[in-house]
A and B are shown apart, each in its own frame.
Chain A
């Protein structure tokens, strides 16, 4: 099979960090080639070099057997390379068609006027060819996450590129949407495209890739055929050691009731939700995107108003109207949108932890912050959470996703919460950090903290939680405990085809 991309001795250094050191491997034409590695392994840097965003310091890249100098996005496109980046790169205020053709809109000959009709036709033809169902004139801001993903794919392929690079394409997709993506990838492969597929989720790589290359700390570790290697072996290559007990044993079913929700309703989001969480219990909340699970969590934390029902904390009606109320009652919240609503990117590691408890750390009657106590607070959590940072005054934006997430968690914990609401706590972080977060959830539940966990990663949700609630179209359709927790039952409840309640033990 001919070689589509030949990467030889590529090195890229950023001030103070070697992102890639002497990386070499080849991608065969027409294969789906996965690239895996923990955060900071250099995957994204490599993709940006191929996509023309960065230039390598040293090394050579051949595309289709010929030496390629990729100096700009335009160069990459000329070499037949298209990249779908990890963060969505769409313009929300533009239509689907405008997004796809943004850089080369069809115009009337000799006049700078957009040919709207032609644009619509070309978009429709492209979408048909890729078997994507999308409305060309819809504004991207009104599309669902998976539809946006499809727009990205169409945009990447509108110039008929022969090489497609996908950086974490499933990070925000639900299981059903991932299947759609697999179907698209198979269509593209059948059409002879070469695909470079980056993901943290090993299962996907074994579902969709032909071969897998592992990077670690900016260096090449190895390339293996997916058919001749196990997931455990790939994890060993990624972390350079054995990861034991990836998931902790499920937590206990807990003690006294910490939080009780009675008939909680927010019109258009969820209705008549009733459940309890006990101290030390990890309650999983499953449901498809748009099922109302995020809204329910936000309502508990006072971010969304409810129309009916009540929330009881420690047996007393809570009357939570804002996050301040929730914090005062001992609720902690870790958002699913770390970048937008979790971290304060320019503030220091220390400040990101102490922000909620400044009053407790203040001296001089609230006029100053006791720096010694602030440092001590951070030091406590740094050990407990195994945080890694260069300096406590370093801006949090320079840390890896896993470390950022642990700091967000530390902030919630610093407020000494008794009830912790976690939304997608492992989204977009690497395998090693995931294992640590699972371990932490176990630790916290043993300390008696009640935890409600929302996760789109079903294996994660099932193994970390002691009980799983399922929500479908805003209604509770499942309450699964003990041996009843299995993937099939959860999916049946999540799609509304079944209702299931475990016997109370």
Chain B
């Protein structure tokens, strides 16, 4: 029992301690303006990580999302000037659903591991993005309507924060309340057993990859709204950020057990660290060093907690 609580809430402790440390070092981090800024920055990776939580809980990975993110910026960059923000966003979502279905079909029909399958589509989807934009920037400086996704607000609440809250509410509901949520945990827990139990394994896997792609399109839209540019080269390594947030949040790397809220907290934590190090004025190269060390410390603490319960085996 205690073990489960530790696993589920460990990340909250780490986030609180990190926030406290940075709060002492740079009081600015807790200013209202910076908190909104933090949440807005966190939203991009957090939303895609919400999708990734389903993939990893289901026993897989989606490595293609960095490319899906880039393709989203390209689609918006090219289509917003032609058809407006709403229609272009709808097209991007539809393309995301197709790319996700494609990932799912490759995995289930050709029986290829998710890691390898999405490693291949990572290359293909980025290729598509570069072909589509002919390797050039598709700028939106004349179409500032898209800025609603970063600087807009509804009743004083910033749009990206609202979007992030909505995505996580839906994700939490799907994870905890629906048969789909149980099926995802089921196939991540024991794939062969799920098949023999009569669970629609293939449909579930395809749905998972539609979710990762669609959440990534939402993230990509936020990114486009910040960059005001569509570019086939953005988002390299984005999949690793999403995976880091998911694992740090307590989702089991081996599948079967996810933690949707943990992912959100971990995504915030990652942003706090980046933001805090920025405010401290640490140069980028040292920031990378510091980030890596902080992750190792967090993961080591986590397994130390586990080891204390299980002892050497």
Real binding pair: yes
B96 at the binding interface (Cβ < 8 Å): no
Are A91 and B194 within 8 A (Cβ)?
Answer: yes
In the complex, which of the residues B178, B190, B312, B313 contacts A114, with contact meaning CB atoms closer than 8 Å? Answer: B178
Q: Within the assembled complex, what's the spacing in Å between the Cα atoms of A16 and B49?
A: 47
With A77-B198, A304-B312 known as contacts, the answer to whether A102 contacts B186 (CB < 8 A) is yes
With A91-B194, A304-B312 known as contacts, the answer to whether A113 contacts B185 (CB < 8 A) is no
Q: Within the assembled complex, what's the spacing in Å between the Cα atoms of A212 and B189?
A: 36
Docked complex: B235-290 residues within 8 A CB-CB of A? 252, 256-257
A305 at the binding interface (Cβ < 8 Å): yes
With A89-B193, A102-B197, A103-B198 known as contacts, the answer to whether A112 contacts B179 (CB < 8 A) is yes
In the complex, which of the residues B179, B186, B252 contacts A91, with contact meaning CB atoms closer than 8 Å? Answer: B186
Docked complex: B151-200 residues within 8 A CB-CB of A? 177-183, 185-186, 188-190, 192-199
With A114-B177, A305-B312 known as contacts, the answer to whether A102 contacts B182 (CB < 8 A) is yes
A346 to chain B, nearest CB (A): 15
Are A105 and B198 within 8 A (Cβ)?
Answer: no
With A90-B193, A91-B194 known as contacts, the answer to whether A102 contacts B183 (CB < 8 A) is yes
Are B190 and A92 within 8 A (Cβ)?
Answer: yes
Number of residues of chain B lying within 8 A (CB) of chain A: 26
A31 at the binding interface (Cβ < 8 Å): no
B311 at the binding interface (Cβ < 8 Å): yes
Docked complex: A78-117 residues within 8 A CB-CB of B? 83, 85, 87-94, 98, 102-105, 107, 112-114
Are A93 and B185 within 8 A (Cβ)?
Answer: yes
| Chain A residues within an 8 Å CB radius of B195 | 73
Most buried by B among A74, A91, A107: A91
Q: Within the assembled complex, what's the spacing in Å between the Cα atoms of A103 and B187?
A: 11
Are B190 and A73 within 8 A (Cβ)?
Answer: no
A338 at the binding interface (Cβ < 8 Å): no
Q: Within the assembled complex, what's the spacing in Å between the Cα atoms of A85 and B192?
A: 11
A155 at the binding interface (Cβ < 8 Å): yes
A52 to chain B, nearest CB (A): 9
A220 to chain B, nearest CB (A): 26
Are B177 and A113 within 8 A (Cβ)?
Answer: yes
A79 to chain B, nearest CB (A): 13
Are B177 and A103 within 8 A (Cβ)?
Answer: no
| Chain B residues within an 8 Å CB radius of A90 | 190, 193
With A102-B194, A102-B197, A103-B199 known as contacts, the answer to whether A93 contacts B188 (CB < 8 A) is yes
Q: Within the assembled complex, what's the spacing in Å between the Cα atoms of A433 and B118?
A: 45
In the complex, which of the residues B178, B180, B181, B256 contacts A92, with contact meaning CB atoms closer than 8 Å? Answer: B256
Are A94 and B312 within 8 A (Cβ)?
Answer: no
Q: Within the assembled complex, what's the spacing in Å between the Cα atoms of A250 and B181?
A: 56
Q: Within the assembled complex, what's the spacing in Å between the Cα atoms of A53 and B196?
A: 8
Which chain A residue has the least Cβ–Cβ distance from B186?
A: A91
Are A91 and B196 within 8 A (Cβ)?
Answer: no
Are A92 and B189 within 8 A (Cβ)?
Answer: yes
In the complex, which of the residues B196, B256, B313 contacts A73, with contact meaning CB atoms closer than 8 Å? Answer: B196
Docked complex: A260-301 residues within 8 A CB-CB of B? none
Are A94 and B185 within 8 A (Cβ)?
Answer: yes
In the complex, which of the residues B178, B189, B311 contacts A94, with contact meaning CB atoms closer than 8 Å? Answer: B189
In the complex, which of the residues B183, B196, B257 contacts A89, with contact meaning CB atoms closer than 8 Å? Answer: B196
In the complex, which of the residues B183, B188, B197 contacts A155, with contact meaning CB atoms closer than 8 Å? Answer: B197
With A92-B190, A103-B199 known as contacts, the answer to whether A113 contacts B182 (CB < 8 A) is no
Most buried by B among A53, A77, A90, A103: A103
Are A91 and B177 within 8 A (Cβ)?
Answer: no
A143 to chain B, nearest CB (A): 14
Are B196 and A102 within 8 A (Cβ)?
Answer: no
With A93-B185, A94-B186, A94-B189 known as contacts, the answer to whether A113 contacts B198 (CB < 8 A) is no
Encoded as 1 (CB less than 8 Å from any B CB) or 0, chain A from 205 to 225 comes to 000000000000000000000
B255 to chain A, nearest CB (A): 8
Docked complex: B122-144 residues within 8 A CB-CB of A? none
Q: Within the assembled complex, what's the spacing in Å between the Cα atoms of A264 and B75?
A: 69
Q: Within the assembled complex, what's the spacing in Å between the Cα atoms of A305 and B311?
A: 9
Q: Within the assembled complex, what's the spacing in Å between the Cα atoms of A245 and B180?
A: 56
A264 to chain B, nearest CB (A): 16
Are B177 and A74 within 8 A (Cβ)?
Answer: no
Are A93 and B196 within 8 A (Cβ)?
Answer: no
Are A93 and B179 within 8 A (Cβ)?
Answer: no
A-B contacts besides A83-B196, A92-B189, A114-B181, 10 pairs, CB < 8 Å: A53-B196, A74-B198, A89-B193, A90-B190, A92-B190, A98-B186, A102-B198, A102-B199, A103-B199, A304-B313
What 10 A-B pairs come out closest when comparing CB atoms?
A: A93-B256, A103-B198, A89-B193, A91-B189, A93-B189, A105-B179, A112-B178, A91-B186, A73-B198, A93-B257
Instruction: Offer 11 A-B interface pairs, CB within 8 angstroms, sorted by A.
Output: A51-B196, A53-B196, A93-B252, A93-B257, A98-B185, A102-B182, A102-B183, A112-B180, A114-B177, A114-B178, A155-B197
